[in-house]
Amino acid sequence: MEKKEIRGEITIFLSLILIILMVLIFTVIESARATAERAYIESTGNLGIYSVFGEYYIGLLEKFELFGLYAGDSDGNINVEALKTKIVEYMEYNIEPEKEIIGLLDFKMFTPVISESQISEYMLVTDYGGESFRHQVVEYMKNALGVNGVEALINRVKDSDVASEAQEQYEIEEKNNEKELVKLEEEKRIEEEKADIDDNPESSNSTEQDMGEEIVNPLDTIGKMKIMGILSLVLKEPQNVSGKEIVLSNQVSQRMLNLGSYSEIDSNTSGTINTLLFHEYVLEKFSNVMETRGNASLDYQVEYVIGGKKSDVENLKAVVTKLLLIREGCNFVYLLQDTEKTAEAEALATLLVGAFLLPPLIEVTKVAILLGWAYAESVLDVRNLLDGGKVALFKSVDNWQLSLANIPELLNNLKDTKSSEENGLSYKDYMRVLLGTSDSEKVAYRAMDMVELSVREVSNNDTFKLDNCVVAMKYSSTWKDDFRFISIFSSLSLGDDSKMIIKNTQKFSY
């Protein structure tokens, strides 16, 4: 039987072709697998960081509509590393959720293992002057009020500006008047000595004799009022004022705060509208002397935001003093425009000092009387506000309460005064004016003081601190996995050099 010789050139050639094709195919598959694994890891990372930030502090949200991830330990110290550990746990679980289930196939397309992770940057709610706090407040108020509510707030800006101008004019006029009055009183004393008035009582009392009675100077009553306790003047029951107080050095606005490592901020809460929205939030969420809510470290929280004092009494005094200044300014502006009342003040000034023939003294005394008259009227205004009434920012003949002749008897009749104007501003409206004239950064920090104290009470957690609340984070992780298909063609193990390395970064902010 004849033997045939079979040559193998074509078989070897086809084998080489097949190997090249398989390498190409497996490389494409590995590349596709690497791309899919990157997406898988990114999805897993998002699940991890979203899961952790889903554990926001519930007391902060329920009471103040604010989000914050609490990173404090049992002693009240910040522990950001604990958050990193949680993120890793969530990611590892999402990478292999079925690891505890028996009977599944061992083959898995993706088997990445996390090798490194770090929280590269994080922001606390108190960072950058409480920027995140203000941002969340503004966004909440925009949604709560809507377009119409925001427009209504804009219309109130004018009140704060006008009140500030009137108050400034009053303070300048009062200061200048006091200086001028002291100077002219000295000149009057010299004139008295020259004229030897003390030796001629008939000439000094001629005006009084013509009138038939002694002239009562209303400025004497004003002087007595100004040295009295301010709360006893404006409150019907000053003994019922809250006696609560806090330790200022423990508050957000006073203590040394933890600082995050975030290098940039995306929001900007400056601007008139945002400021107005923040002030409205303060009025909505915090109590005041007219709306106490009990079970709080301070009853007069809005007054604290404005005054910044340690006790309810001191904060109420600070606010009442500011209210009086606003009302004095507005009332003084009105008196200057009312020719009848100005003439009345000039006539009284002439009777009081005209005998000394010093025209400048008459003018200065007239202004002093108008200033005192504005003050006395303002005391009644603030009493009405604290009694639930309303007072117009600028008055008219119809709603002016106090006559010049009645000032000397004012202290005896304070309890009988009552006037509420239908279209005036309430105590809460005047709080808006005061907030509008306050320093924005101080208002924000003091608001955070009240938020922190209130959350402690609600959650029964005395160690809660706002500067332990994370509101934004950048998280970086490094993953390693084997080259599943390419490694088929390699019999060598190159250690980590033969592994696929994937770096991933997540960002999150409330």
Which phi and psi (to 5°) does residue 505 adopt? -135, 130
CA angle 480, 260, 77 (to 5 degrees): 95
Q: Which residues contact 326 (CB under 8 A, 6 or more apart)?
A: 163, 166, 167, 430, 433, 434
Do 163 and 326 touch, CB atoms closer than 8 A? yes
Tokens at residue 124, please? Answer: 């606390």
Which residue from 54, 47, 62, 69 is spatially nearest to 132, judged by alpha carbons? Answer: 69
Among the listed residues 354, 391, 349, 398, the one whose alpha carbon sits nearest the alpha carbon of residue 373: 349
Q: Which residues contact 398 (CB under 8 A, 6 or more apart)?
A: none
Q: Which residues of 164-187 are buried (b: 16+ CB within 10 A; e: fewer)?
A: eebbeebeebbeebeebbeebbee
Element (H, E) at 124: strand 113-124
pLDDT band at 300 (very low <50, low <70, confident <90, very high): very high
User: What proportion of the chain, given as a percentage, has pLDDT over 90?
Assistant: 39
DSSP category for residue 253: T
Indicate the residue type of 55.
E
Contact between 372 and 219 under an 8 Å Cβ cutoff? The reply is: yes
| Distance between CA atoms of residues 356 and 191, nearest Å | 7
Of all helices (H) and strands (E), which one includes residue 477? strand 469-482
253-294 pLDDT per residue, tens: 999 999 998 887 777 777 888 899 999 999 999 999 998 887
Strand partners, 391: 425
Examine the pLDDT at 50 and tell me if it is beyond 70: yes
Element housing 318 (H / E):
helix 312-337
Residue 126 clears pLDDT 80, i.e. is over it: yes
Residue 61 confidence (pLDDT): 93
Res 154 pLDDT > 60: yes
Return the pLDDT at 2.
62
Q: Which two tokens stand for residue 318?
A: 């600070």
**Are 117 and 87 within 8 A, CB to CB?**
yes
Q: Which helix (H) or strand (E) holds 10?
A: helix 9-53
Quote the tokens at residue 370: 């108008």
Burial class (CB in 10 A: 0-12, 13-18, 19+), 20: exposed
Q: Is the pLDDT of residue 452 over 90?
A: yes
What pLDDT score does 216 carry?
A: 80
Helix (H) or strand (E) holding 506: strand 499-509
The predicted pLDDT at position 244 comes to 93
Higher pLDDT, 327 or 487: 327
Mean pLDDT of 123-149: 89
Nearest CA to 33 among 105, 113, 117, 112? Answer: 112
Predicted TM-score (pTM) of this structure = 0.82
State the number of CA atoms in the 13 A half-sphere of 234 facing the CB. Answer: 30
Nearest to 125 by CA among 180, 205, 66: 66
Nearest to 449 by CA among 196, 240, 250, 177: 250
Cα angle at 320 between 317 and 321, to 5 degrees?
85
The secondary element (H helix, E strand) that includes residue 502 is: strand 499-509
Q: Within 13 A of 43's CA, how many CA atoms are on the CB side?
A: 10
The tokens for 45 are 């990372």
Per-residue pLDDT at 468: 94
What's the whole-number average pLDDT of the chain?
Answer: 83
Which residues pair with residue 509 across a beta bridge?
A: 472
